[in-house]
Amino acid sequence: MEYQGIQMLFFFALIFLSLDCTALDTISANQEIKDGESLVSEGGMFEMGFFSPGKSKNRYMGIWYKKISYGTIVWVANRETPITDRSGILKLSRQGNIVVSGSQNRTVWSSNSSVSNNRGVVVQLLDTGNLVVRNKKSLIWQSFNYPGDTFLPGMKIGKDLVTGSQRFLTSWKSPDDPSIGEYSNKIDTNGYPQTFTWRGEVLLARLGPWNGLGFSGFPVEKENRIYNIEFVVNEKEIYHTYELTSSVVQRVILTWDGRTPILQWVERIKDWVVYTESLTDTCDHFSLCGPYGICSVNKHPPCSCMQGFEPRNPEEWEASDWVSGCIRKKRLNCEGGDWFWKIAGVKLPDTRRSYYNTSMTIRECETACKRNCSCTGYTSLDIRNGGSGCLLWLDELMDTREYDGDQDIYIRMDVSELEGLVHSQSDFNEMKRILIVVLLTSLVVSLFLAVAYARRKIKKRPHMKRKENRFMHMEPFDDLSFFSLFEIAKATSNFSVSNKIGEGGFGPVYKGVLEDGREIAVKRLSETSQQGLDEFKNEVSCIAKLQHRNLVKLLGYCIHQDELILIYEYMPNNSLDYFLFDETRSLKLDWPQRFNIIQGMARGILYLHQDSRLQIIHRDIKAGNILLDSDMNPKISDFGLARNFVGYDTIAKTKKVVGTHGYISPEYAVYGRFSIKSDVFSFGVLVLEIISGKKNREFSHEDHNDNLLGHAWRLYNEGRSIELMSGSLKATCVVSEVLRSIHVALLCVQHHAKDRPSMLSVVLMLVSEGELSQPQPPAFFTEVIDGEVQHVSSVDKYMITQPYAR
């Protein structure tokens, strides 16, 4: 019995010891950690508690490496509010909020986190160095979302595009003071994302853009067995992160004096070893050689001008002051023809003034650059597998350096300059070979299209008469989820009037909630609908294959006897016209929101015309078909009238003109001809409506009876374009953006389709500051001078005699 009693005591002792060990990394609600106590992660890698940095007597709550020499702090909670004595306490509330307090129970820091379901809420220090608040179901808060001066494996540095929050590094003020210092290291999301190191407002250094293998101008180790870097750009977030692939411990730290070294700890040394730094030589300083200068550490002096350029200020250049950079020896003649010169092995220039496209080929990239006179150079976005994607520069090329890597850039130059550069026979032969390949490829593609067209003609048969049940022969759509009528009826309370949120050409639209909690918008074909089976099939087949942040997402469909139903993601802010043309609700749309909507629409249409797999002409761009999400971001919807096309600027003809009065281009309304330029026209109309807050189809100026397009044109010619802007925007407008948007819109609504820009040009014009071409008179405009009619759109007569389809 005595022996059994000893066994039982030993057994319970083991249980208590086990409980004590597993509890070291976690505390529950209302538990405390006092100064002198700590949490230790499960694997013993990290410890959290109160500490004093360097020679300071102040106390801070922080996290540090436990297994490595003491003092390697990776995160500090109360950076700006130290505790002057040892009264510090960390406590977790029942609502999931971490609170650090000092003497007299004064709060010095809080995580500001909370959760409605507070059962099982705990704080846990993970072996990654991440401090988390969680319950059994979800993560509530994490320290990785609030970096200090240290970038740990698994942490994301970048921007959350949904919330707008940004995660970046900030230095300590000194080795003894962890409060925010002078230096910061963050991702800039203007143009193509890249990482900058700042000293206050002064840009010190730049990490080149991601090229698929690594960051341009940063060492890429082909046999790297220590860590993997990942760079992510999608509609929700932009960030880079890394993970360890060996037993070596690694961190990135922005030191108090502005250096950004990557440090490693090797197990046998048990200390930190500097691996590399962001500023390793003279050429790492931002734009040392100015615009169109190239820096090389192997030359003296290190700065030289790119081929075809010369110093802007020769005297300063000779005195080793290179900041003013270089200028072209010969001015570009965009319309007369330019060419591109390849510079191999460089760190890519600053991309803040750039445009990028992940799906374009390098040849398409060259074509896009050549079409835009503001484009100064281009390159592949991803250098893997021969290169893919497109990156265009729309401004002077800054901060370029020679670098022993695989990245090349193509610089725009005058043709006469290149004649002197292509001087060797080998270069000539290479160009000749390229030309032969291009011609042969074009011939093969042309033959393929001709054969495909002929086969389609042969297979074409007269339409079969529609059966009594018009949907009985419809094939399923493999790319989409099928919903039963019972599911949809249940989600919409049996298509209750109280759930109805709108009415379109297709039929009524209802809000619904699926069993899994997802909110949906349900479009139900009505018996009186102006659209039918063809439009339904067209919309499903088009939008099911499209994925873009500025296109509404189709979740599924329902076909049941005579019922045709489409199920979309729900847009809580309704459509653009709901706000734009209502005197009260329009006040909620300030200029930054309207300009964001204009740019988002442009990117969405560009995707349809050029970047999507299908290449689509929408044919019904209007305010009612621009939906707004919870953050007022635009989503193009309603693809029932959309049409696929093949090749660039393809023109189709139809006897059935469809669309919406006020947005249809003249060549489409009169002759039935539609092309991508038809959508460009509709976009231009919509931009003028967004700026003015007026409907084109209802606007008529009291003095001269102009419609909205004519009124905008008249104000532009009189130098009074800003008067077109809605009075509600005066407090928030950026005048240059408003005037530029009006100018671009007038280019889009020009009478002749050939004069209108492509959507790629529109997107580039909206983000650049280059000079714009002069627009020609718009369609639907009558100009009278000295009693004589000078310009009449033939569409005016058509509008009187022929009603529009919608």
Active site members: 620
Q: Which two tokens stand for residue 745?
A: 């819109």
**Measured in Å, how far apart are the chain's first and last C-alpha atoms?**
95
Among left, alpha and beta (phi > 0; psi -120 to 50; other), residue 693 is left
142 within 8 A of 152, measured Cβ to Cβ: no
Question: How many residues does this entry show for the chain?
Answer: 806
d(CA 576, CA 359): 29
Give every CB contact of residue 29 below 8 A, 6+ residues apart in sequence. 92, 93, 94, 96, 118, 121, 122
- Residue 705 one-letter amino acid: N
Give every CB contact of residue 771 below 8 A, 6+ residues apart in sequence. none
Residue 733: helix, strand or coil by DSSP?
A: coil
What is the pairing mode between strands 400-402 and 293-295?
parallel
Alpha helices in 624-724 (DSSP H): 666-671, 676-692, 708-717
CA distances from 506 to 129, 524, 766 (A): 54, 7, 33
**Does residue 301 have a cis peptide bond before it, meaning omega lies within 30 degrees of 0?**
yes
CA 733 to chain centre: 23
Q: Using alpha carbons only, how large is the chain's radius of gyration in Å?
A: 32
d(CA 154, CA 151): 9
d(CA 671, CA 654): 8
Among left, alpha and beta (phi > 0; psi -120 to 50; other), residue 493 is left
353 φ, ψ (degrees, to nearest 5) = -110, 70
DSSP per-residue letters across 184-236: EEEEE-SSS-EEEEEETTEEEEEEPPB-SSSBTTS---TT--SEEEEEEE-SS
d(CA 474, CA 533): 9
777 φ, ψ (degrees, to nearest 5) = -55, 145
Q: Which two tokens stand for residue 642?
A: 């959309």
Give every CB contact of residue 457 below 8 A, 6+ residues apart in sequence. none
Q: What share of the chain is helix, strand, coil (3-state, %, to 5)?
A: 25, 30, 45
Tokens 């910061």, located at residue: 184
d(CA 536, CA 544): 12
348 within 8 A of 409, measured Cβ to Cβ: yes
